[in-house]
Amino acid sequence: MNKRPLRIGLSARVFHPQTGSTGLQSKSLHYLEQSVAHWVMSREVMVLMIPAVSGDGIVHRSSIRLSDYPQYLDGLILQGGADISPQTYGETAAHPDWQGDRVRDVYEMELLHEFMEAGKPVLGICRGAQLINVVMGGTLYQDIASQIDDAQTHVHPDYDQFSHAIEWERDSGLARLYPEISGGNVVSIHHQVIKTLGKGLQVEARSVGDGLVEAIRLQEKTYVFGVQWHPEFHPPGSDKLLDCTPILDEFLNAARGRR
């Protein structure tokens, strides 16, 4: 009998009710970006979104625990989205637009903790990499353009059509995963980035030109890896962007080893 497909959980993006709105915009919505799911589903994988349990839901907090999910899922992907709230890493937002999503932070921090406690692998994408860093005690630059002198462009109106170059750190996991190249071009959609590195984390890649952190890995037995770029927006077979299938396969292999 064939083994069942891997079951990978995706954290939810959160749309909060808008004051004065009606219909769907008056409700809490949990959703995912389709490209993330399709990227993971390019392998024999079932993708399941893990909903948060918020205060305005009909399910009481005692009725369901995020700690139950690692028992049934083989791994977790923390997808991109809204900023991490500066409050989450002990700061005050320097601009009203940088308040972030504290509600989502709390939900994903608990989710990350539960999967790490269960020894299940975690892959963080963009915001997900930043969350991993913050959970491990690190901090972020709230805005690259205004807080870092001579920074390269990391977010652009072209959105997922914009890319920049990164390079591996020597002796990193990425260097071993891509032995024939030293880096590549990646889709970049972020105005915040890792500042102080969290405990137990190692920098795996940096952006060319300004040296900002682009990938991190937890130096423990449990697989926890984060990339600042968006691998889900890299078309298969592209000669202009980094082939991110080795990263996906490494994560999925770690998941197979833990089920």
Q: Which residues are catalytic?
A: 126, 230, 232
- Token pair, residue 66, equals 């995020």
> Got the DSSP string for the chain?
-PPPPEEEEEEPEEEPPPTT--GGGGS-EEE--HHHHHHHTTSSEEEEEE----TTSSS-GGG--GGGHHHH-SEEEE---SPPPGGGGT---SSGGG---HHHHHHHHHHHHHHHHTT--EEEETHHHHHHHHHTT--EES-HHHHSTTPPP---TTGGG-EEEEEEPTT-HHHHHSTT-SEEEEE---S-EE-SPPTTEEEEEEETTT--EEEEEESSSS-EEEESS-GGGS-TT-SSS---HHHHHHHHHHHHTT-
